[in-house]
Structure 1
Amino acid sequence: MALDLTTISVALLFLLVLSPLATSFPLNITDDKPSAYEVLQGYNFPVGLLPKGVVKYDLDESTGRFHAYLNGSCSVSLEGSYQLKYKSTISGIVSNNRLKDLSGISVKVLFLWLNIVEVIRDGDELEFSVGIASASFPIDNFYECPQCGCGFDCVNGKVSKLRIKSSFSSI
């Protein structure tokens, strides 16, 4: 069956008319699932508890059990001799104002790497627990996400200063 000139002309006209609509409304199917950072905010935590680059996550809303996935491990240096390390998978249990049973995040205190096992929000402060000790920080330290390798001030290449309320004690 041969196509005549009229059929081809109509098909071309159809494509030309729909072409602008196709660019205005892409045919990509998007996932309306909130980002890991938005979920964190939904539990009253700032986005800066997670580094930039979370590629996916899963959350069991009935138990609060979650996993956040990065492309690889990540470290962030903060002024005041603190360094953070994130494994490629961060997990724990989230509830309003509390992250517990955490794994995949550690902090360097003096010469020791300690796992952060719990974070509790108390008003405008976040208390980080490593099991045997805890430290409190003003929440505004965590309004932005740190970037792997350079922390919070990647443009100027400076190590970010972390304001501290109380340092890790009892170690």
Structure 2
Amino acid sequence: MAVHLTTISIALFLLIQSSLATLFPLNITDDTPSAYEVLQGYNFPVGILPKGVVKYDLDESTGQFHAYLDGSCSFSLEGSYQLKYKSKISGYISNNRLRDLSGISVKILFLWLNIVEVTRDGDELEFSVGIASASFPIDNFYECPQCGCGLDCVNGKVSKLRIKSSFSSI
């Protein structure tokens, strides 16, 4: 009888422990790199994504990725550029190249055009909309822009961001 009670006591103890572990899981440090760290791993600066990426998924075998912002995002760049990011950005990433992008667009004159590719060539980033491209010095992208105000956010007010570029057609 004593053996039976001991077995029941151990079983109850284990049941309670497993229930508590389910209700109150241990906080284990998540070593998953952020989306910004993944960009750096492919030789891109963090500033090609705005602040606010809440999660991402990446198939390392194909390079296919999806990045999710906490909402859609837009901001202006001095020199007549306005950028819009949808809440989901998709494409393929490899070293020095982002291709088949969706979810990012730029306003040129009065047209909104999708940015479909970004390539890094030395200290320049080239952004392509398919029919044309523009190159920018990489040091313009060392800091992540903030939705609404870009890189020049003072007290939450929108300011224009000055950015150097060279524009060429493909």
Normalization by structure 1: what TM-score? 0.80
Query: Which position in structure 1 is the counterpart of 2:51?
Result: 52
Identical positions, percent:
84
Give the superposition deviation at 1:76: 1.1
SS in 2 for 1:135: strand
Query: What CA distance in whole angstroms lies between the structure 2 residues aligned with 1:145 and 1:155?
Result: 15
Q: 1:161 and 2:139 equivalent?
A: no
SS in 2 for 1:154: coil
Q: 1:68 and 2:67 equivalent?
A: yes
Give the superposition deviation at 1:168: 5.2
SS in 2 for 1:114: strand
RMSD of aligned Cα (Å):
1.3
Give the superposition deviation at 1:30: 2.7
Query: Which position in structure 1 is the counterpart of 2:31?
Result: 32
Match of 2:103, as an amino acid?
Answer: G
Match of 2:167, as an amino acid?
Answer: S
Query: What CA distance in whole angstroms lies between the structure 2 residues aligned with 1:74 and 1:30?
Result: 29
SS in 2 for 1:88: strand
Query: Which position in structure 1 is the counterpart of 2:81?
Result: 82
Query: Which position in structure 2 is the counterpart of 1:15?
Result: none
Give the superposition deviation at 1:169: 3.9
Match of 1:167, as an amino acid?
Answer: F
Give the superposition deviation at 1:153: 1.0
- Structure-2 change in CA distance of 1:168 and 1:85 (3 Å): farther
The gaps in structure 1 that reach 5 residues or longer are: 1-26
Query: What CA distance in whole angstroms lies between the structure 2 residues aligned with 1:55 and 1:79?
Result: 27
Q: What are the Cα deviations for residues 21-79 of structure 1, in whole angstroms up to 9, with x where unaligned?
A: xxxxxx52232100000000000000001000100000000000000001111001110
Normalization by structure 2: what TM-score? 0.81
Query: Which position in structure 2 is the counterpart of 1:140?
Result: 139
Query: What CA distance in whole angstroms lies between the structure 2 residues aligned with 1:151 and 1:76?
Result: 5
SS in 2 for 1:48: helix
Q: What are the Cα deviations for residues 93-113 of structure 1, in whole angstroms up to 9, with x where unaligned?
A: 000000000000000000000
Query: What CA distance in whole angstroms lies between the structure 1 residues aligned with 2:137 and 2:104?
Result: 19
Matches within 5 A, 1:60-139: 60-139=59-138
Q: 1:151 and 2:157 equivalent?
A: no
